[in-house]
Structures are given as C-alpha cells and as structure tokens.
Structure 1
Amino acid sequence: MPWTVMPDFESRAAARGEFEWDLPDEFNPAVDLLRKHDDPESTALEYLTPDGERASYTFRELDERSDRLAAGLRDLGVGPGDRVGVVVPQKPQNPITHLANWKLGALSVPLSVLYGPDALQYRLADADAKAVVVDPAVREEVDEARVDCPALDHVIEIESETPTGDAVAFEDVLADPGASVDPHDATPDTESAILYTSGSTGPPKGVLHSHALWLGRAAASYNYMDRGLGPDATVWTPSDWAWGSALGGTLFATWHHGGTMVAYPSEKFDPAAAFELLEQFDVTQSFMPPTALRLLMDVANPTEQYDLSLETVAAAGEPLTPEILDWADEELDGVAVNEYYGQTELNLVVANSTGWFETRPGSMGKPLPGYDVAILDPEVADAGDIERLPRGETGEIAVRPHDRSVFFDEYLDLPEKTAAKQVGEWFLTGDLAERDGDGYIWFKSRKDDVIITAGYRVGPMEVEEAILEHDDVAQAGVVGVPDETRGEIIKAYVEPAAAVTGSDALRAEIRELVRDRLAEYEYPREIEFVEELPQTTTGKIRRTELREQD
C-alpha cells in the first residue's frame, strides 16, 4: 500500500507484508501539509498563550501567511539551498517559518529556545544559516552568537514592532497581504532540514534530511497513535518543537493526516495546567516524554477532576516504566500509552501499537512497517560486517529501511562519520538492546556516553567544555546517573584549580554558567568535587569509571 493511503491494517502482520513507501515523484511538504485537505477552512492550529488568550488558524490561513513570509524572505535574498534557523517555541510563527522555507526551497534549522549563546552559535555557524527567526526571549543570546556566524545576514524577531539593532520585525517581512509564491519544485529527495544530535563523543552533528523525513514520521505516528490521526484528531505535546519527535512526529504528522494541533508555549511543565489544556481542547492524542507522564501521576483522580477525550498517548526519549502504564490504565480509564523508538538520523522505526498487539511494560515494541530491524554483534558491526545475534542476547540495534530516502542524507560536512553510520544496507544506531522470543525489543543502554534526561539527549563533552570555562575549574567529567523522575540527571565530577576549594558557591556558579552558555536542561544537578579525575593514557576522561562510582 502506498504512503498516501495509510490503511487500517487488521494486523501488524498484514501491515508488515503489504505496506510500501511508494513515495511520489513530486513532493513539497508545504503543499502536502496545507493544500491537499478536502476542507481548507478546517482548523489546523489552536494557539493558547500563557496569559490565556486563544487564537485559531485554518489550513488556508497558514497557507496564506507562509506564502507572505516566503515572499518576504525572498526579498531578503533567501532562496533555494539557503539555511534558515528557527528559534521559536510553540507559537504559530514556528511552523509558518518552516513552511515558508520549503516553499522557497530553503532548508530549516530547528533550534531550541532553551539554548544559550554557545549552543546557538555552534549550530547556526555549522549550518551556515543565512537568516534566523527568533523569539524575543532569545534575542540577546542570538545577538551574542551572531558575532561568530559570518553567513548570518538577517535576524527576524517575532512579536516585536520595532526590534533593536538591525533585526527585522517578523510582521514586516510578511507585510504584503497579496504576496504569494509558487512552491519550489521538489521531490522526496530535496534537502529539507538540518537537525542536530546531542554530541555524545564530540561536537553536535548536523543531520541533513530530505523532505521524505516528514513522510516517514507521519507514517510512524499514524501507527503509534493507534491509527487515531485524521481530520477528527486534536493533538498536543508539551515537548519543544525543535525536537524531531515533536516537530515531525507530532505537529507535521497531525497536519499530514488533516488533524488539529494545539500550541501552548509554556516555560515549564505544569501537570495541572496540562490536564486543563487536555480538557479545554478535547485533545484525543498526545505525545509526552515519560518524565512528563511521571509528573502527571502526581495529580489525584484526574478523570474525576477533568473531562478528558484522550485516546492514545505516545512516549519516547527514555524508557517507559511499568508504573506509568499501570497508572494510565487505572487513572486514565485505560488510555493506551505506546512507547516508540527512533533517532534523529533514522526516523521512527520501532513502536508499540495496542490495536495490533499486547504492550509489554518496558519494551520498545516491534518494528514498524517499512523497516527491518536486527540485533547485531556490536564488535563485528564496528568492524564493518553484519552478524545477527540469537534472540535473548544483547547487541546493537541496526535498521534497514525499505526506502533509503526516509533516512538521513548525511552528517553535514562529516563524510567519514556518515560512512561509519552504515554497513551495507544497514544503519547502526549505537543503542544496545535485545529481542525476545516473541519479537519485542528491549532497550538496554547506549554504546556511547550520551545522557538522556527528561527526554533530552545531552552530550557530556559539550557540558564539560562549558564547565571548563570557569576559572576555578581544572578538569571536569560529566555522566548520567539514575533519577526516578527524569530517568537520568547530569552529574559533574569537578577537579578544582590549584589553591581552590570546592564549595556550594562554586557549585552554584558552575550550574549558572552551564545554564547560560548551553541550555536550561543541560546543567549538572549534581556536582562532586574530586582531587583528581580518572584519565586514559592520552588524557581523556574515563567516564566509565565515573559511572561505576555511583
């Protein structure tokens, strides 16, 4: 069956046997998401501000506004192949910018408003971004980062009539109400976006994707949302739209299938406010990281307090724990919670789907239609060969797509790392898991040092480098340690500089430094001062030894 049909297969076996990608010859996601629906006047976006103000946008209105923005960006010199950063939270200007980019043939670079100037500078410079659309909350950070971004010609600020400096007001860029553009002639293989990895063993890598990315995410979402996406669906996620699962697997997947997306740009997850929003908008499907679900569990008797329409919750980013599933079954009257698994590079490839098979607590589920998944001997895979392990043995997850286009094109300007990601037709994930006798896949750990905290992937090297900027720090080693609420938290082992004594004041300064330079979620919640850090003979921090101390 082609991707355009998304039929309700009666079983997973039928889906695995009959589904085909059958990607179209011509494809522009802006056209797909906005112009193919039977009723262009249906609501695409419900927007609720933190102050309680509410606005809605139809597919036609989003089409018109993104047309006007595309024309304005074109007047600024943005064209096919240019890169445009998007540093905007859950506000309408975020998807409008992405859509305008694709109408011009430009690439989007989604970036979190939680990033500090160092994190923004690295990514904007690495992507050679020509323009960036920013929220006022991060304007100062972008201005600081811009000094070292030679290609960045334009800063476009939303919600500001008269931006300071040489920034341009967003509304001025789309000021012409009659402006329009002919969407760029594109295919599924046209370059679409650059997403950034966490940077586990070095600087974050830019992951270049083509337009087929969004089709792959829409297909996966349809399944892990138990085939509940369509014109009658209303969907919300508390996750930052800079994250691929929230942007592609939730927002754009919802629009691909004609549903309504809810936007709410909150600074911090509030479980009571989340339930109020679910009730207010009659949300039927939601994507929530397990950390958010654990916080929701603190609200007593939710179905008695709130009139909920919730049918399915999808979860990813960290393993689900059995108590979450028990809570949803008991306290949410049996709402399905489907865990799924994917990567920035490789789309969403494994999932639970309660309509097809029984969910096993702690399992990632089974391979989705359109992909083959194998558990390999990690040492053999590293040597460039493939050796499948028997069921029940732990090895590296490898994925083979039935259509290469739905996976990433390359790591930006990193050909050797791109080549190392693939062995023959198989793509290596760096994640260790095992498959049981019934075909369920169980996540074990990462091969590298990446930390997964509250659903965010954090590379320890970037945090270590930020800590080392403090004059009173000689060395730093960063690892993840278990935490009941967040899955893992970031812990830093810090070797103070000569004649410096570790103190609570120094801990506070280090935390503030990392918050300011990187992101709100990347600061070390635990800091332990040590006389000397374990190192290899080449001077690298031995993080394995640090983890063994906890």
Structure 2
Amino acid sequence: MTRTDTDPWYCTLASDSYEQARREFEWSLPEDYNLAYDLLRKHADPDRPALYQASPDGRRETYTFGDLDRLSNRVANALEARGIGRGDRVGVVVPQKPENALTHLACWKIGAISLPLSPLFGPDALSHRLTDSGARVVVADASVREALEEVEDDSALEHTVFVDGSGDDSFESMIENRSAEYAITDTDAETPAIIMYTSGSTGPPKGVLHSHGVWVGHCPAFSMYFELDVDGTYWTPADWAWIGALGDLLFPAWHYGQPVVGSPLGKFSPEEAFSLMEEFDVTGAFLPPTAIRMMMEVDSNRYDLSIEAICSGGEPLTPEILEWADEELGGVPVNELYGQTEANLLVTNCREWFPARAGSMGKPVPGHDVRVIDPGTGEERPTGEVGEISVRRGGDPVVFHEYWNRPKRTDEACVGPWHRTGDLGYADEEGYLWFKSRDDDLIITSGYRVGPREVEEVLLDHEAVAQVGVIGVPDETRGEIVKAVVQPVGDGSDQLREELRDLVRDRLAKYEYPREIEFREELPQTTTGKIRRKDLLEE
C-alpha cells in the first residue's frame, strides 16, 4: 500500500454546491482497504501530531501518527501472542486514553473485531455485551477491575489487560518487548471490524456489526458539519465507546490527518471544557446538546477560543442553542446531525451550502440515499407526509452488516433495499428532514398520534427545565395520555406545571400537552446521554 492523501477515497467534499455534491459523489475505496492503514499509514507526514493527550493530573503528551502506528503494532503483536486472530472479538473498556484507540487500531491490523464498551458500565451491562459477543480478550481501565471480576467466569474471556494497572496483567507489561513492526493483514471494505451495542432504549442491547469501511463512510458528513474545512484540531467530551465520539469526530479526523484532543474528564464540567478548548486551540467540537446547555451557563468571554464550528446530535437541538452560539461565540455554526448505531451520519447541516432550520436535522449527506418510506411497502412517502426514515443498504459503508447473532432482527430492520431506522419523520419541499419520534415511542391519545420528542423540544425551551422525558401512560377514556417526567432547574411547583402545559398547548396542539407532569431530581439515561423512556414507564 503506497497511496497518498490525494487519492479519491480521501473524502473531502470539494463541490461548489450541495446539489452538485449529491449528484457527483461516489464511494471509491481500494480493493485492499484497511482502517488502520487509512487512519495512520496513508499520511505523507508520519511526524504530524495525531493526539494531544491531557491527563487530569496536568500531564500533557503528544502522539504523532507514526507514534500511534508503532505503538499499535506492538499491541497487535501482543494480541497475536495471546491467540487473537482474524474475526476474534476484543473488548475495549477504556476512557479517552491512548490505549483505547491503540487497541482498536491493533485489532484492525490483525483482522480482529474490536468491541467498544463504556467504563461507566456496571457488571450486568459488561456481562451481556462480553458474553453476547464472545470476546476472548478485554483491555480495560483499572477503574473497572471489580466490575470485570464479577463477569469473567460467565463469559468467554481468556485474558484481561488493565490500563494504568501493575503486574503481569497490565497494558505496559503486555506490550513490553513486543516488536514495533507489523505487516497489516489483508482486508477490504467489507471485512468485519467493529461491534457496537445499541443503547438499549427499545429493548436488550443488540450488537451492531460494521465493516472496515465504516469510518470513511462518516467523512462526507464530517466535512459538511465542519463547514467544508477539515484542517484543524478536534475534541469531544463524549465517551470513546459511543459511535457519536468515534464516528462523529475521532476517526474521521484521523482519516483527514488532523489532531484530536483526548482527555478522560469524568463528570462533565463546562469550565473544564472551555479550558481544554482554549488550551489546545480546538477549532471543531462534537458537543451533545446537554453539554452545550451546561456551557451556556458559563461566561465564554473569559476564554480565548479558536472554535470555528460545532456539531451536535443525540438530543433535541433547541433554538436557544443556535442563538447562544450566534451571540456568545461570534456566529459559530452549530450543525445538527442525525444517525444511529446501525447507520450513522446520514443527515446533517452545512451553512456554506444551505441555511440551518431550527428543529430540522438538515439534509441527506452525499453518498447516502435517505428517504422517508412506508415501512410496510418500502414505497417513498410524499413530501410532508410522515413515514419511516430509511437508507439504501447496497454500497453504503455506514450501513451495518447485521445484528450480531440475531439474523431475524436483521431481516426485520429491512424492507426491500432499505434499512429502516425505526425513526419517524418527514421531508419538506426543500429537502430538509424533520424528526418526529421513534416508531415504537408514539403516543396515541384520543386517536391523535403524538411524538414525544416534539413535546420534549418544547418543554426544554422553558428556562426551568433541565431535562425531560415524555411518555404515554394508560387512560381509560383516551387510551393513553401524555405524561412528562421533568428534571427542574430548581424546585418543581404547581405553577410550573401549568406553565409547561400552557407552553405545549400554545406551541404545538391542545391534545399534545402533558396532562400529567412529574418532577424528579434526575432522569434515567443511557450511557450515550439519551433519556430512557422505557425506564420512565417502569418506575
């Protein structure tokens, strides 16, 4: 492999317009495509910084693309010495530390399948994923040692390696004296590479198998939401176990040869976020809306920022976020994006090409054929009519291969050539896509269909609402009624209940207002920060 950064699979969108990019874009991956080669070895300058590592104790380290290549070679050799080969699964339970990325890269060099897992998982969550995937080795942070000890006997694990540990089971011990040379195994864009588990918001977490082409498939969207200028420094506070961190920022940045800041923050601190962005001259950030709302409470003028664009997704992106970025960050665009574990970064915004519309996810990204269809027939819905958001499977590298060990569920997610996302929405006359709800979260009250996300977006506009989850609860007369479970900024009150009901009545429709409102100190969330509506129903 001797390719350079100028090859056609280096997916910068150079078109003059969105329409031209949609017409002309084609996937052009080489027959022997390998993720690790793409992210590390294809770059002309191996001494270019790839990772600025910021440790909580104040230490700062810089890793070049050459450093990461040599270190991941040592990890690959160490894993092979433990019997790991093509198709074997390796768990990665590490926060934003170099060992996280190094283990993924090593797996892809071997032809093994990596398994990103959150350090926030407890024993039950780890047990399900490690057992279901059949992982043979896990590389984990020392902070999860006790949790892993509870699940080792119930899984297929043969080796557990701890980062920042000591003794024979430490990461340093594993790679000690291993060669820094490694010949990447033969792969192509369809070779299995990674299993990511769904958040479990609609049932037991399912393993989503993706191939080596998955991260390059994210790059057109990356180029769009960072406004067609990919030269910069990137950071996200999101867990490196989530596709929103790995796919929305980390690996696309490395595909383009750009440095990323890594920092295991722990609990999110808006002040620390601003400080990191200032220290490392971060130009592009992926920030979930919850993080942005917390940052809105801090005086950003205290920091000398270099931020040029922010992308965001996973929760409603409400209008006041866009207004804050315009007023407090000097017009920095905040571009919403849409995707899921099974098919990520299908839709986004790009101010260089078209104006953002508050509440809209944006337009389909070049390279992805996204339609709103009838989930039963696969026929496209007319403009403005609600249907299921779907993407054509054939030839799209971001679309998953299968649910691990669940062929029936894989088949159920398809209709004709389409992967059904399970999300309901509609397209307007100018091609913008609008999300309504999950198809299985719909509330049917008095014959009306209510999408909970739409109600949540309105409630989040109230200054006294920090977080909210909207669900349907049984009612003898109406079948279901709308209930809002609210985490207030201060104390809840009857007056606040009435204000929230009036807000929904005024902004949406009278039948959509929450007849019941419950206040709680905190709401159950998945590890990706989504409200677990199912848990609200059960509590």
Residue 535 of structure 1 is matched in structure 2 by none
Where in structure 2 are the equivalents of 1:313-332 lying within 5 Å?
A: 313-332=310-329
Matched residues in 1 for 2:212 and 2:484: separation?
34
Q: Report SS of the residue matched to 1:172.
A: helix
TM-score relative to the length of structure 1:
0.80
Decide whether the 8 Å contact of 1:50 with 1:266 is kept in 2: yes
Decide whether the 8 Å contact of 2:11 with 2:219 is kept in 1: no
Structure 1: where are the runs of 5+ without partners?
461-478, 486-506, 529-542
Residue 186 of structure 1 is matched in structure 2 by 187
Q: Report SS of the residue matched to 2:115.
A: strand
Pair 481,368 (structure 1): closer, same or farther in 2 beyond 3 Å: farther
Aligned residue among 383, 392, 415 for 1:423? 415
Counterpart of 1:219, as a letter, is P
Counterpart of 1:269, as a letter, is F
TM-score relative to the length of structure 2:
0.82
Q: How far did 1:522 drift?
A: 8.6
Residue 531 of structure 1 is matched in structure 2 by none
Pair 482,369 (structure 1): closer, same or farther in 2 beyond 3 Å: farther
Where in structure 2 are the equivalents of 1:72-221 lying within 5 Å?
A: 72-149=78-155, 151-162=156-167, 168-176=169-177, 178-221=179-222
Q: How far did 1:435 drift?
A: 1.4
Where in structure 2 are the equivalents of 1:43-442 lying within 5 Å?
A: 43-149=49-155, 151-162=156-167, 168-176=169-177, 178-230=179-231, 233-300=232-299, 302=300, 304-377=301-374, 381=375, 383=376, 385-401=377-393, 403-442=395-434
Q: Report SS of the residue matched to 2:257.
A: coil
Q: Report SS of the residue matched to 1:406.
A: coil
Pair 75,527 (structure 1): closer, same or farther in 2 beyond 3 Å: closer
Decide whether the 8 Å contact of 1:115 with 1:520 is kept in 2: no
Decide whether the 8 Å contact of 1:228 with 1:285 is kept in 2: no
Decide whether the 8 Å contact of 2:191 with 2:212 is kept in 1: yes
Q: How far did 1:527 drift?
A: 9.5
Q: Report SS of the residue matched to 1:327.
A: helix
Number of residue pairs aligned between Structure 1 and Structure 2: 470
Q: How far did 1:311 drift?
A: 0.4
Matched residues in 2 for 1:143 and 1:129: separation?
15
Matched residues in 1 for 2:284 and 2:202: separation?
35
**Larger displacement relative to structure 2 (368-377 or 310-319):** 368-377
Structure 2: where are the runs of 5+ without partners?
1-6, 443-451, 461-466, 472-482, 490-519
- CA deviations 1:268-312 (Å, max 9, x no partner) are 111111111110000000001011011110012x1x311111001
Matched residues in 1 for 2:304 and 2:15: separation?
31
Q: How far did 1:83 drift?
A: 0.2
Q: How far did 1:388 drift?
A: 2.3
- CA deviations 1:67-106 (Å, max 9, x no partner) are 0111111111111110000000000000000001111111
Decide whether the 8 Å contact of 1:2 with 1:19 is kept in 2: no
Pair 62,293 (structure 1): closer, same or farther in 2 beyond 3 Å: same
Counterpart of 2:161, as a letter, is I
Q: Report SS of the residue matched to 1:313.
A: strand
Matched residues in 2 for 1:5 and 1:15: separation?
11
Q: How far did 1:186 drift?
A: 0.6
Q: Report SS of the residue matched to 2:298.
A: coil
Pair 22,444 (structure 1): closer, same or farther in 2 beyond 3 Å: same
Matched residues in 2 for 1:435 and 1:310: separation?
31
Q: How far did 1:401 drift?
A: 4.8
**Larger displacement relative to structure 2 (194-203 or 234-243):** 194-203
Q: Report SS of the residue matched to 1:113.
A: coil
Counterpart of 1:361, as a letter, is A
Matched residues in 1 for 2:362 and 2:27: separation?
21
Q: How far did 1:484 drift?
A: 7.5
Counterpart of 1:373, as a letter, is V
Pair 124,321 (structure 1): closer, same or farther in 2 beyond 3 Å: same
